[in-house]
Amino acid sequence: MINNTKISIIVPVYNSESFLHLLIEAIHVEKIKNNWDIEVVLIDDGSKDLSFNKINELASVYKYIKGIKLSRNFGHQIAVKTGLTYCKGEYVAIIDDDLQDPPSLLPMFFSYLDSGYDVAYGVRKKRKESFIKKLSYSTFYKILKKISNTEIQIDSGDFCVMNKKVVKNMLKLQEKNPFLRGIRAWIGFKQIGVEYERQARIEGESGYTIKKLFKIAKDGIFSFSNFPIRLITILGSIGLAFAIIFSGYILFEYFINLIPVKGYTSLIIIISFFSSLILICLGIIGEYIVRIYDEVRDRPFTVIEETINL
Q: pLDDT tens across 267-281, in order?
A: 766 776 777 778 777
How high is the pLDDT of residue 152?
64
How high is the pLDDT of residue 27?
93
pLDDT band at 82 (very low <50, low <70, confident <90, very high): very high
pLDDT band at 189 (very low <50, low <70, confident <90, very high): confident
pLDDT at residue 10 greater than cutoff 90: yes
- Cα 10 to chain centroid, rounded: 15
Q: pLDDT tens across 251-268, in order?
A: 777 677 766 666 656 676
How high is the pLDDT of residue 276?
73
pLDDT at residue 209 greater than cutoff 60: no
How high is the pLDDT of residue 70?
92
How high is the pLDDT of residue 83?
92
What pTM value is reported for the model? Answer: 0.71
CB contact at 8 A, 193 and 145: no
Share of the chain above pLDDT 90, in %: 26
Measured between alpha carbons, how far is residue 45 from residues 51, 71, 85, 162 in Å?
A: 9, 8, 15, 22
Residues 102, 75: Cα–Cα separation, whole Å: 22
Ordered by start, the domain boundaries in the chain are 6-207+301-308, 227-297
Give every CB contact of residue 18 below 8 A, 6+ residues apart in sequence: 49, 203, 204
Mean pLDDT of 203-214: 59
Q: pLDDT tens across 14-66, in order?
A: 988 888 999 999 999 999 998 899 999 999 998 998 999 999 999 999 999 99
The domain made up of 6-207+301-308 has a fold known as: Spore Coat Polysaccharide Biosynthesis Protein SpsA; Chain A (3.90.550)
Describe the strand order of the beta sheet including 191-197 as a list of residue ranges: 191-197, 119-126, 156-163, 91-94, 6-13, 37-44, 65-70, 304-308
Q: pLDDT tens across 156-184, in order?
A: 678 899 999 999 998 888 877 777 888 88
pLDDT band at 245 (very low <50, low <70, confident <90, very high): confident
pLDDT at residue 86 greater than cutoff 80: yes
How high is the pLDDT of residue 203?
59
How high is the pLDDT of residue 283?
77
Measured between alpha carbons, how far is residue 111 from residues 33, 34, 116, 235, 262 in Å?
A: 15, 12, 9, 49, 75
How high is the pLDDT of residue 9?
94
DSSP assignments along the chain, one per residue = --TT-EEEEEEEESS-TTTHHHHHHHHHHHHHHHT-EEEEEEEE-S-SSSHHHHHHHHHHHSTTEEEEEESS---HHHHHHHHHHH---SEEEE--TTSSS-GGGHHHHHHHHHTT-SEEEEEEEE--S-HHHHHHHHHHHHHHHHH-SS---TTEEEEEEEEHHHHHHHHT---SS--HHHHHHHT-SSEEEEEEEPPPPSSS--S--HHHHHHHHHHHHHHH-SHHHHHHHHHHHHHHHHHHHHHHHHHHHHHTS------HHHHHHHHHHHHHHHHHHHHHHHHHHHHHHHHHHT--S--EEEEE--
pLDDT band at 220 (very low <50, low <70, confident <90, very high): low
Nearest to 207 by CA among 96, 118, 291: 96
Phi then psi dihedrals of residue 7, to 5 deg: -115, 135
How high is the pLDDT of residue 170?
87
pLDDT band at 94 (very low <50, low <70, confident <90, very high): very high
Between 260 and 208, where is the model more confident?
260
Residues 4, 280: Cα–Cα separation, whole Å: 55
Residues 126, 176: Cα–Cα separation, whole Å: 31
Measured between alpha carbons, how far is residue 166 from residues 20, 84, 100, 308 in Å?
A: 28, 11, 24, 26
Side chain identity at residue 175, one-letter code: E
pLDDT at residue 74 greater than cutoff 90: no
